[in-house]
Amino acid sequence: MPPSGKTAASCWICRIRHKKCDESLPKCQNCETLELSCLYSDDKPAWMDNGDKQREMAQRLKAQVKRNAKERRGRRMIQKITREIEGHDSSNADSPPSLSPSRDEHSRDSIRDSITVDQTTEPQISDTDTTTPSQTLPFNTSPTTENSRDTSQRDEPTPAFFGAGSGPLVIQNEQDLRFITAYTDYIFPLLNPFYRPTFLEGGRSWLLVFAMRHMESCQLVISLSTYFLSVVPIFPGPGHSVCSSHTWQEVQCQSDLAVKGMQQRVEAISRCGVSGNLLQSTHLLGDIMLLLKFETMTGSSSSWRVHLYAAIVLFEQFLSSPDLDDNVWKIPSDIEEVVSQSSKSALSTKEAHRFEASQTAFRFFSAAVITADIISSTALGQSPRLREHHERVLGTREKAHLSLKYIVGCENWIFLSIADIVELDLWKKKAKKSGAFSLMDLIQRASRITQDLDNGLASSDSDRNARNKDGIFSMFNPPRDQSIDHEIVTRIWANATRLYLLFTMGIIRKAVFTSLLGTSTAAAYLAAKNPVISPLPPNDPIWSARIYKNHNPNRNPATQDVCIKRIPLSKIRPELLQKDGDLTLEFCRGLWSGWGYAVQRKYLEYKWRGPETEEQLWDNEQLAESTYDKGTKITDHFEVVEKTPQAITVRCGDSPRNHPVRPSDGLFTISATIDKQREEVELRLRSCLFSSEGKITGIKGPMPPWMEELHQWYARIWSETASWKLLK
């Protein structure tokens, strides 16, 4: 690095990250340490607009910092393993790491030549009919052939795995075969533990066909294998040297070669169209999904969105093709069902093709595209692109076509519910932006999703005893413990989906406490030590307080409760009893900085922290040291509206930036008083939640009973964890 200098102003990267810059030239220390591109300029960058572009840039930089840190940890791990192995075997200390120590340089050069893409020629996709009936996809048009990439180095084509091969396989030597076998036998089952294809589908044999049909597929599989075996010390010690010697640069080189080859195939298929090259397009879809798996597993690339988008576009072309037979999704998992059907009528050629390797691969990668599209939509905040095709591919909630539980271990209706929640979140944001938001509409829409989840779990329970009938073919059915795995995984996903729904609704983000109630002992302790009184008595001071009348001018009905906890004075830190108001302030600090609020704080920080909210309290240190004076804003969800020595009252329910009346509103009071007669400290958390918008008739508050119960349990957790800061 050149000698550092000084400039008149800090770099723009440090400015947007709100970090102190040392103004070193040509690159400041912050950017150098975090591996960021430093930017010095007299002119303000276009993205520094104090608006959406600046927020987007800040988020991109935050993601890049995390990504760079992950890559540094990976490099350090590989270096550490290498050093440990060199310590065990000093004879190899002078040998530079290579892709495979067992290969000589001639073997390495031949492999490099075999996978190098000729940039001057474009891959040609033949329309000649050279496939046999046993290799035909279940489409209504005549079969097409699959030409592999240039394989001029071989004198004779290698026979295919199934019948007369339509093209040579690309495997070059024993070492590559070892990596492919390691992937099919060990790594793939580890990454996809619930995928156990049936006897009729040939098990996982389609993976060999897929990995050996195209050079790009082979290289991606080898990349995954080398990365996985080099990072994960399955057998620590000198015996692990073969795995640990594969460096990250070699893995990246292989994946880059595969990407270049796929780019040419994408261009060729885009000119010819999917319909005329169904088998080629199927392999390309698999390669893209394998690349996506590699990127998400290694965390080395930020282009996963681009590759996922490419896979979705290609899959949409499959679905728009008139030649696609929808029966390709419908594969029975029970072999006795197939036998009973074939005994009534002969199995047609088209039906038989559904059990071939190409069909099995297409179903697997179709499920991968569908699930990746749905899960990514939750992070991207956009509707799943394949939403309109869900019924065609997955079927209905009552009758599934492509059954995801045999691939990811989870029932279809879980993913359909997740997609519904994404749509609900988009509707809520749009309604709030247009001013047409209604809390009752939100609850009704959420109730329908909750009902779908309940119905799905009920149907799973009813089907529990209907699986795996004993019979002559029972040995070929999925094992009984796999059905149990599906039930467990589905229930875990169902609970996670409920939690996601609670977060999405906004007014019940506090439902994160459900993970803490895993045992009845914890629940009983919280209930006994933190009793909740609901509703509040008529003489409660809140009803006559001016602050309540100001924020609920129409006296709308409220969800009301108070959580009470008593602690002996002998257990309280003595310094908190010296000055009036210190006990209440410390209780308030313990509430916001304690782990009871940590999950909600992290979520709110991820969603709402930005330049316009930077002056609010976000960090744990700020929350633990603030004096919580009137006007203090907390994580863009709470604002202190009144402070006395005995109590601190905050307004809740929505962002403090939304000052007028609002559909979700409320007052939350934190108080601590000393009962000298009983020699105890009484801690109270009083909640009064209402809608301050318009006039609402009736006596029921805005929360339904089940939501009110969740709120009370969350208040107990807050009270318990906040009180720990008061103890000696």
pLDDT in tens, 452-491: 888 888 777 655 544 444 444 444 455 545 555 778 888 8
Element (H, E) at 673: strand 665-675
Among 135-149, 272-286, 532-546, top mean pLDDT goes to 532-546
**Per the structure block, which two tokens stand in for 356?**
């071939």
Per the model's pLDDT, the better-predicted residue between 321 and 473 turns out to be 321
Pairing of strands 559-568, 633-634: unpaired
**Per the structure block, which two tokens stand in for 646?**
């005995």
pLDDT at residue 171 greater than cutoff 70: no
**What pLDDT was estimated at residue 551?**
92
Task: Report DSSP state, residue 96.
Answer: P
Lowest-pLDDT range of 216-225, 592-601, 670-679: 216-225
Lowest-pLDDT range of 286-295, 299-308, 496-505: 299-308
- Listed residue (516, 503, 505) closest to 606, CA to CA: 503
Lowest-pLDDT range of 221-230, 248-257, 279-288, 465-474: 465-474
**What pLDDT was estimated at residue 439?**
74
Give the percent of the chain with pLDDT over 90.
22
**Per the structure block, which two tokens stand in for 55?**
């927020």
Q: What average pLDDT does this structure show over 196-220?
A: 77
Lowest-pLDDT range of 359-363, 429-433, 524-528, 539-543: 524-528
Cα(210)–Cα(195) distance, integer angstroms:
16
3-state secondary structure 365-421: HHHHHHHHHHHHHHHHCCCCCCHHHHHHHHECCCCECCCCHHHHCCCHHHHHHHHHH
Q: Coil, strand or helix: which one is 639? A: strand
Q: Which residue has the tokens 């002998």?
A: 570
Q: Which residue has the tokens 């591109």?
A: 37
DSSP labels for 150-187? Answer: --TT-SSPPPPSSSS-SS-----SHHHHHHHHHIIIII
Q: 329 falls in which pLDDT band (50, 70, 90)?
A: low
**What pLDDT was estimated at residue 655?**
92
**Per the structure block, which two tokens stand in for 155?**
């004198």
Per the model's pLDDT, the better-predicted residue between 446 and 341 turns out to be 446
- Residues in the chain, how many? 728
Per the model's pLDDT, the better-predicted residue between 581 and 265 turns out to be 581
Among 83-97, 221-235, 261-275, 462-476, top mean pLDDT goes to 221-235
pLDDT at residue 139 greater than cutoff 50: no
Domain ranges of the chain: 12-79, 118-142+168-324, 512-726
Contacts of 447 (CB under 8 A, 6+ apart): none
**What pLDDT was estimated at residue 502?**
80
Among 402-406, 420-424, 536-540, 596-600, top mean pLDDT goes to 420-424
Question: Backbone dihedral region of 228: left (phi > 0), alpha (psi from -120 to 50 degrees) or beta?
Answer: alpha
**What pLDDT was estimated at residue 306?**
81
Q: How far is CA 282 from CA 133, 223, 260, 266, in A?
A: 17, 21, 18, 12
3-state secondary structure 440-472: HHHHHHHHHHHHHHHHHHHHHHHCHHHCCCCCC
- Listed residue (589, 550, 555) closest to 672, CA to CA: 589
- Listed residue (614, 695, 694) closest to 660, CA to CA: 694
Lowest-pLDDT range of 106-120, 408-422, 553-567: 106-120
Among 182-186, 249-253, 345-349, 471-475, top mean pLDDT goes to 182-186
Task: Report DSSP state, residue 580.
Answer: T
C-beta atoms surrounding 617 within 10 Å = 22
Q: What average pLDDT does this structure show over 284-313?
A: 78
Q: Which stretches within 5-104 are classed as H helix?
A: 12-16, 29-34, 52-88
Q: What average pLDDT does this structure show over 29-48?
A: 88
Strands (E) across 236-381 are located at none
**What pLDDT was estimated at residue 253?**
64
Q: 266 falls in which pLDDT band (50, 70, 90)?
A: low
**What pLDDT was estimated at residue 556?**
93
Cα(607)–Cα(72) distance, integer angstroms:
27
Q: Which residue has the tokens 């039906």?
A: 351
**What pLDDT was estimated at residue 134?**
35
Per the model's pLDDT, the better-predicted residue between 620 and 342 turns out to be 620
Q: Coil, strand or helix: which one is 131? A: coil
C-beta atoms surrounding 512 within 10 Å = 21
**What pLDDT was estimated at residue 115?**
31
Looking at the domain 12-79, which fold is it? CD2-Gal4 (4.10.240)
Cα(589)–Cα(628) distance, integer angstroms:
8
Burial 521-560 (b: 16+ CB within 10 A, else e): eeeeebeeebebebebeeebebeebeebeebbeeebebbb
**What pLDDT was estimated at residue 489?**
85
Q: Give the mean pLDDT of the chain.
A: 74
Per the model's pLDDT, the better-predicted residue between 283 and 378 turns out to be 378
Q: What average pLDDT does this structure show over 43-48?
A: 88
Element (H, E) at 528: helix 520-529
Element (H, E) at 306: helix 304-320
Q: How far is CA 116 from CA 126, 254, 260, 482, 576, in A?
A: 22, 10, 9, 43, 73
- Judge contact between 167 and 319, C-beta under 8 A: no
Dihedral sign from CA coordinates of 324, 327, 331, 336: negative
Terminal Cα-to-Cα distance of the chain (whole angstroms): 52
**What pLDDT was estimated at residue 261?**
65
Cis peptide before 193 (omega within 30 of 0): no
- Judge contact between 393 and 402, C-beta under 8 A: yes
Q: 521 falls in which pLDDT band (50, 70, 90)?
A: very low
Among 385-399, 563-577, 688-702, top mean pLDDT goes to 563-577
C-beta atoms surrounding 659 within 10 Å = 10
Question: Backbone dihedral region of 694: left (phi > 0), alpha (psi from -120 to 50 degrees) or beta?
Answer: left
Please report how the helices 705-723 and 582-593 are oriented relative to each other, as an axis angle in degrees rounded to 10. 120
